[in-house]
Amino acid sequence: MIRICTILLSFLIITSCRNDENINNKAEEENKKSESLTLYTHRHYDSDKMIFKKFEEQTGIKINVVKANADELIQKMELEADQSPADLLITVDAGRLVRAKNKNLLQAANSELLSKVVPQHLKDSENYWYGLTKRARVIVYSKEKVNPEELTTYEDLINEKWRNKLLIRSSNNIYNQSLMASIISNNGKDSAKLWANGIVKNFARSPKGNDRDQVKAILAGEGEIGIINTYYLGKLLNSKDSSEIAAGESVGVFFPNQNDRGTHINISGIGVAKHSLNKDNAVKFIEYLVTKEVQEVFAKANYEYPVNPEAITSDLLKSWGEFKEDKLSLTKLGELNKEAVIIFDEVKWL
């Protein structure tokens, strides 16, 4: 009997020790997890690496970066579901952030600092995502062939005087879809369809290439005006390729709709992943990204406009002049994306 009791006691002690070890191991894993953040990001810039490194140095929180294009990241989060290691998602275009929210891939991240710093139209109304940087979608024009005084609004681009002169990328591009969504929201669906049809009539060529290719086509004489994001012109003008610099220098920048709603803008933005176990640190990271100092790094390194009103923009962006931006809630860009795509199909904007 004594022997049985001794064996039983030994078993209980061993089991207890193993349980304690499992608990300690689990606690250690959780502690390690809380000291790091896994960031799914569409951005791919050296300046971002520098920003992440400084955050790590200041906080001791390691940033694990997973890079892919936005649609791949969103699909990855869907497939991973509650097993996803993602703590944060960064992508370009508010429409994609709205899509991620609608797919239940994000969670609300409330912060007094973020509410104060990020303008209302540049964030989700329920704080599921926040804008980090802005890009204006502007008209660029040939300095040799176009008098900028002839330019006024997006709507005027359907004027016959621009027949066979307009360059723009395809309708499957999210930037054009979001521009179209803003036209729908501001002018109504019927007017937006008339506008899209007029744009198609004024194509200098079938849509192709990226925004930089539209500028290069202006230099090559294939068209006289184009619609691009300001960020891409900054990249051209600061390229190591002399032909790209020449393309950038051949065009001027015009901010449309300055006498009414303002120029259409879009963002790169961020949200906390639905299944993040590190929400507090994730919010701390977002707060860091909208500080004046970090915002100025974004502005100078990537030719993007800061969302923090106190941040100073780059000299290049200053050289293009100040402009009035459309204060339309960027949530509309996602909500009206489907209608925008339907209109593109109807007018055969390829």
DSSP secondary structure string for all residues of 235-284: HHHT-S-HHHHHHHHTEEEE---TTTT-B-EEEEEEEEETT-S-HHHHHH
pLDDT at 198 over 80: yes
pLDDT at 181 over 50: yes
Same fold, 36-132+267-310 and 135-264+330-347: yes
First-residue to last-residue Cα distance in the chain: 87
CATH of domain 135-264+330-347: 3.40.190.10
- At 306, the amino acid letter reads P
pLDDT digits (tens, 9 = 90+) for 67-98: 999 999 999 999 999 999 999 999 999 999 99
pLDDT at 264 over 80: yes
Q: In angstroms, rounded to a whole number, what is the distance separating the alpha carbons of residues 263 and 350?
A: 24
For the segment 307-322, the average pLDDT, to the nearest whole number, is: 95
At which residue do the structure tokens 């710093």 appear? 117
Q: In angstroms, rounded to a whole number, what is the distance separating the alpha carbons of residues 158 and 349?
A: 14
For the segment 3-30, the average pLDDT, to the nearest whole number, is: 48
pLDDT at 17: 47
Confidence of residue 31 (pLDDT cuts 50, 70, 90): very low
Helix (H) or strand (E) holding 33: helix 2-34
pLDDT at 35: 86
Confidence of residue 24 (pLDDT cuts 50, 70, 90): very low
140: which residues sit within 8 A by CB, 6+ positions away?
A: 214, 215, 218, 225, 226, 227, 228, 233, 251, 252, 253, 254
Task: Specify the CATH number for 36-132+267-310; select among 3.40.190.10, 3.40.710.10, 3.30.1330.30, 3.30.70.270.
Answer: 3.40.190.10
Copy the structure tokens of residue 344. Answer: 């593109």
Choose the weakest-confidence range: 35-44, 100-109, 322-331.
35-44
213: which residues sit within 8 A by CB, 6+ positions away?
A: 169
Alpha helices in 37-104 (DSSP H): 46-59, 70-80, 94-102
Please report, for the chain, the start and end positions of each structural domain, with discontinuous segments joined by +. Answer: 36-132+267-310, 135-264+330-347
